[in-house]
Amino acid sequence: MSSYIDHLECTVCGKSYPHEQLIGISPCCEKVLFARYDLAKLGREVDRDSLSSRTDSMWRYAELLPVDDPGNIVTLGEGGTPLIKSRNLAQKLGMRNQFIKDEGLNPTGTFKARGISAAVSKAVELKVDGFTMPSAGNAAGAAAAYGARSGMETKVFMPQDAPDANKKETLVAGSELNLVAGLINDAGREAVAVAKEIGFFDLSTLKEPYRAEGKKSMGLEMVQQLGWKMPDAVIYPTGGGTGIIGMYKGFKELLELGWIEGKQPKFISVQADGCQPIVRAFDSGAATSELWENATTKADGLRVPHPFADYLILEAIRETGGTALAVSDDEMIAAMYEMATAEGIFPAPEGAGTLVGLKKLLEQKFLDPDESVVLFNTGSGYKYLDLITGP
Ligand SMILES: *Cc1c(COP(=O)(O)O)cnc(C)c1O
């Protein structure tokens, strides 16, 4: 049970790089690097059904994750989250196959744990000295927790107005917290500069190849939970896009392995109306996004005004016949109540946004109630108690 990782590949020009050295973005095009696996060999040697008897964590898919020596895995039990079949919401919406993948049950309360576990583990394998992490919110808490677990020093860079919950979880896990004037892009610039100066590994979204691999495991897990079948559509609250990009990549790998067949689900991006660079690019037919000025939203995971991997997000949406749409903060907050009241799942506002998206797309007849649809609740509402009015 170890990785079949073979090399890293530039997502623009296809140039290969060895995976035995720590690189962030591709030196050739300065774009995203993908981990590539020896899928032919994996297909010959591993039986899909043997995976079901393993521990229920994302490392169940170790062959399709980047860490060679299992001894290097830094884990807190990430992944293995339930795919909950919606009852009351589905009934209300007239749907028969609607599911919620509840990522709020991960360590640190969001799916960020998956990506950070993968990236920190691989960096430990490659003997890094420490980490820098720019974050608008939940990635900070995950980096602090996994940094602590790895015994490595972690420096977190956050916008000054990032949520208190994320600042506190960073401090409580012993990371250095640097508050930066501006938004995530500004925090990112500082993190990269410091990483370069002191030789730390920068964990910025998609500026290293491994967080997307961890998030890919959400998709692998979801299809396994559906009996190795893909749903018709996936609705995903999109910030930096790691989840969509990772899952789209993961389904391609499973298709190539012959572990699943059929068509990829339509990838549907939900963004906040105060920060919707992907929606604007999708609507205008552009291949990349433009910086969204004065980005504001209470769904901090969606406050990414200019995603570095915009071209890959847009490819996943377009290639699968998906779409992108924006919802308001008020709609997201109302949907937090609605999901919790109907199903007992207390979602992050980002996750609640997928329910708003689903309702709009049913109304517009973009989605049909007969289709199977998975909503991704990417985090726990417990990290956003300030959005809920008290008794
Ligand atoms: C980071 C975050 C997102 C956005 O995730 P991406 O995969 O980077 O697009 C959505 N929801 C929550 C709760 C987040 O923390």
The sign one gets for the Cα dihedral 335, 338, 339, 345 is: positive
> For a substitution probing ligand 1, which of 138, 205, 271, 276 has the most ligand atoms within 8 Å of its CB?
138
Q: pLDDT tens, 352-371? A: 999 999 999 999 999 999 99
Q: Residue 156 pairs with which residues in a beta bridge?
A: 133, 177
> Whose Cα sits closest to atom 8 in ligand 1?
240
> Kindly report the CA angle at 367 between 361 and 370, in degrees rounded to 5?
135
CA proximity to 241, closest of 207, 200, 190, 286: 207
Q: pLDDT tens, 275-330? A: 999 999 999 999 999 999 999 999 999 999 999 999 999 999 999 999 999 999 99
| Cα 383 to ligand 1 centre (Å) | 13
DSSP string for residues in 124-169: HHTT--EEEEE-SSHHHHHHHHHHHHHT-EEEEEEETTS-HHHHHH
Report the pLDDT value the prediction gives residue 226, as an integer from 0 to 100. 97
Q: Given a cut of 90, is residue 83 above it in pLDDT?
A: yes
**Cα gap 205→376, rounded to integer Å:** 19
| Residues at CB less than 6 angstroms from ligand 1 | 110, 112, 137-138, 205, 237-243, 301, 348, 350, 378-379
| Cα 197 to ligand 1 centre (Å) | 28
The sign one gets for the Cα dihedral 301, 237, 275, 264 is: positive
Structure tokens at 173: 């896990």
> Whose Cα sits closest to atom 12 in ligand 1?
301
> For a substitution probing ligand 1, which of 378, 380, 383 has the most ligand atoms within 8 Å of its CB?
378
CA proximity to 185, closest of 321, 97, 294: 294
Q: pLDDT tens, 106-131? A: 999 999 999 999 999 999 999 999 99
CA distances from 166 to 44, 282, 329, 379 (A): 44, 31, 19, 13
Q: Which 3 state secondary structure label does DSSP give 370? A: coil
Report the pLDDT value the prediction gives residue 1, as an integer from 0 to 100. 72
Q: pLDDT tens, 18-67? A: 999 989 999 999 999 999 999 999 999 999 999 989 989 999 999 999 99
pTM of the predicted model, to two decimals?
Answer: 0.96
Name the DSSP class of 10.
Answer: E
CA proximity to 272, closest of 232, 300, 311: 300
Q: pLDDT tens, 376-387? A: 999 999 999 999
Name the DSSP class of 347.
Answer: B
Report the pLDDT value the prediction gives residue 325, as an integer from 0 to 100. 98
DSSP string for residues in 44-65: HH--GGGGGGS-SSGGGGGGGS
Give the CB-side neighbour count of residue 63, counting CA atoms within 13 A: 19
By the 10 Å C-beta count (0-12 exposed, 13-18 middle, 19+ buried), 3 is classed as buried
Q: Residue 235 pairs with which residues in a beta bridge?
A: 268, 375
Q: Are 251 and 266 in contact (CB under 8 A)?
A: no
50 Cβ neighbours under 8 A, 6+ residues apart:
none
Q: Given a cut of 80, is residue 193 above it in pLDDT?
A: yes
Q: Which 3 state secondary structure label does DSSP give 341? A: helix
pLDDT-derived band at 195 (thresholds 50, 70, 90) equals: very high
Report the pLDDT value the prediction gives residue 223, as an integer from 0 to 100. 98
Other Cβ atoms within 10 Å of 164 Cβ, number:
9
Give the CB-side neighbour count of residue 369, counting CA atoms within 13 A: 10
284 Cβ neighbours under 8 A, 6+ residues apart:
none
Helix (H) or strand (E) holding 191: helix 184-198
CA proximity to 148, closest of 69, 198, 74, 77: 74
Q: Which atom of ligand 1 is nearest to the CA of 138?
A: 15
Name the DSSP class of 355.
Answer: H
